[in-house]
Structure 1
Amino acid sequence: MKETSQEIDNFLVDLLSKVGQSLREDVNKNKNIDTKSGPNDLVTNFDKSTEKNVVGIIKEQYPDATIVSEEGYGDDVTSMKGLVFFVDPIDGTMNFVKCHDSFASMIGVYLDGKPFVGAIINVMENKIFHGGPELGVFENERKLAAPIDQTLKDGLVIISAPMVLADYDNTQEVVGKSSGLRVLGCAGLVFEHLLKGQEVIYMSYLRPWDLAAGRVLCETLGLAVVGVDGQPVNMLQSQVVIAGTKNAVSDVLKTVKNSK
């Protein structure tokens, strides 16, 4: 039987509810910490165990699906055909380790390359943002309205700190044209802010699992999600992504273009 978006949405909410409960118990435990690409790119035993558990549950429920995941328990995915799950077990691992707060777990689902269902849990606040194009977007049981389509100058922006410090893609000018800069250190929580209209732009270098769930939810609420060149994102590549209100994204793209 062909899965419906409502069935998958229910599945993701139930799964992330259990993940959140487990991580709230784990957050203050001793952690085995390793680095990946650099000293600030951390991975813990809880990232690995959470992903292994989540991937196993998805494969049991959806055996024909393929899975793109951060820590390597998924598949070697080269095509977006069929049902594809993107799993980020702990998004904001540095916050998880250092702050014991402000981290998320995310699952995005695509069907034949198109956004289908997404879910993000703000773990410590136990809030799940979920839904998709056929469903709308919900914060737990409350349906969210689309954010106001503000311009760049009228809103706050969230841009990755390294990009701003290096003035990559004219990001300092972007900040100067906005109402101000915020940094959260967790893509999942940034997408929560965008969905609720708290900021108008998110700009960062994102891997597929960083982006997948947030893109589904943002586009469902009428927000724009594009590459730094203004083109559609490639869900099987890491890239600089600009997400936000359509007006603000248009403003940012003009500023970024001037840096070339």
Structure 2
Amino acid sequence: MTSTGEDADRLNRCVAAAESGGDLALESFRSELAVDTKRGPMDAVTEVDRAVQRHVFDGLRAEYPDDPVVGEESDASKRVPDDGPAWVVDPIDGTTNYASGNANWVTSVAFCRDGEPVAGANYAPVTGDLYAAGPGRATRNGESASPSTTTDPEAFLVNPLFGTSPDHRRELHAAAGTVLSSFGDLRRFGCAQAALSGVACGELDAAVSTVELHDWDTAAGVCLIREAGGVVTDVHGDRWVPGATGLLASGGAAHDELVASFGPSSD
């Protein structure tokens, strides 16, 4: 059994690590960068990504040497274990934005226990926005976060969450069609954690995906939405967990409409 104090310590560490890593990344923002690619021409990585991840990993391991740390740019495990504690780090979520000088990127740090995100922070250094969540609380810049209460799907602003692989792009094409035919309008930030943070605060009505997403793209944002009072499920409407097929996130008022629209066909 963990204490409230321990949970608060983990949240504080998420915040400190996200802010420290984000400030380090900000030092090189809109400077000349060498940009590499990983799985395709739209899957960018820079030396700043790697440097920020090393910086955050070193800080977490110094304080919690026995805890696994999962990160996007790591050669080690890229999955949150089903049992025990784990940290999840995305040094720059939205690297393509970052490399092109677009301000929409965040540094994300989450803490998971037994596969569930229980604390997390998303820090957007360019705007100074800090989104943080732990048991019973979710905030944006220290103020309580509240998701949208919109009940009319035709008034929904929806952000599709997909990667750049051919399979993801095919699924994105279908999802975008569903948003434009059945919901209000589409937004695509190019930064999953920014979109999930936006759902937690009511800046967006929903974020949706029909494919499995990486743990570092989701853990902190899922924690934010749930602690703010929103709902996050897989495409079947079951509670989302790392490794689930799809992710549907909303304030909850019309979540069944998302499941009906983006879930598997009943045929």
TM-score, length-normalised on structure 1?
0.88
> Residues 164 and 78 from structure 1, CA distance in 2 versus in 1: closer, same or farther, beyond 3 angstroms?
closer
Aligned to 1:90, the other structure's residue is in SS state strand
For structure 2, the residue ranges without an aligned partner over 5 or more in a row are 163-168
Verify the 8 A CA contact 2:132 2:140 in the aligned structure 1: yes
**Per-residue deviation at 1:12?**
2.0
Determine whether 1:22 maps to 2:24.
yes
> Residues 225 and 186 from structure 1, CA distance in 2 versus in 1: closer, same or farther, beyond 3 angstroms?
same
**Per-residue deviation at 1:123?**
2.0
Verify the 8 A CA contact 2:30 2:101 in the aligned structure 1: no
> Residues 156 and 29 from structure 1, CA distance in 2 versus in 1: closer, same or farther, beyond 3 angstroms?
same
Aligned residue identity for 2:111: V
> Residues 174 and 258 from structure 1, CA distance in 2 versus in 1: closer, same or farther, beyond 3 angstroms?
farther
**Structure 1 runs (4+) greater than 6 angstroms displaced:** none
Verify the 8 A CA contact 1:66 1:74 in the aligned structure 2: no
Residue 124 (structure 1) aligned to one of 117, 123, 126: 126
Aligned residue identity for 1:193: G
Aligned to 1:232, the other structure's residue is in SS state coil
- 1:123 and 1:188 map into 2 onto residues whose CA distance is 13
> Residues 151 and 59 from structure 1, CA distance in 2 versus in 1: closer, same or farther, beyond 3 angstroms?
farther
Residue 46 (structure 2) aligned to one of 44, 55, 62: 44
**Per-residue deviation at 1:165?**
5.6
The farther-off stretch of 101-110 and 148-157 is 148-157
Specify the alignment match of 1:201 in structure 2. 206
Verify the 8 A CA contact 1:152 1:201 in the aligned structure 2: no
Q: Note the aligned Cα RMSD (angstroms).
A: 2.3
**Per-residue deviation at 1:28?**
2.0
- 1:241 and 1:55 map into 2 onto residues whose CA distance is 27
Aligned to 1:46, the other structure's residue is in SS state helix
Determine whether 1:187 maps to 2:192.
yes
The farther-off stretch of 208-217 and 142-151 is 142-151
Specify the alignment match of 2:218 in structure 1. 211
Verify the 8 A CA contact 2:35 2:46 in the aligned structure 1: yes
- 1:141 and 1:179 map into 2 onto residues whose CA distance is 30
Residue 8 (structure 1) aligned to one of 7, 10, 33: 10
Residue 226 (structure 1) aligned to one of 221, 225, 233: 233
- % identical aligned pairs: 24
**Per-residue deviation at 1:180?**
0.9
Aligned to 2:246, the other structure's residue is in SS state strand
**Per-residue deviation at 1:79?**
2.6
Aligned residues: 256
1:164-183 residue pairs with structure 2 within 5 A? 166-168=173-175, 171-183=176-188
- 1:121 and 1:241 map into 2 onto residues whose CA distance is 22
- 1:187 and 1:221 map into 2 onto residues whose CA distance is 17
Verify the 8 A CA contact 2:200 2:224 in the aligned structure 1: yes
**Per-residue deviation at 1:182?**
1.0
For structure 1, the residue ranges without an aligned partner over 5 or more in a row are none
Aligned residue identity for 1:255: S
Specify the alignment match of 1:240 in structure 2. 246
> Residues 258 and 13 from structure 1, CA distance in 2 versus in 1: closer, same or farther, beyond 3 angstroms?
closer
Report Cα offsets for 1:19-51 as digits up to 9, x if no partner: 222222111222221111111011110111111
Determine whether 1:68 maps to 2:74.
no
Aligned to 1:228, the other structure's residue is in SS state coil
TM-score, length-normalised on structure 2?
0.86
Verify the 8 A CA contact 1:201 1:248 in the aligned structure 2: no
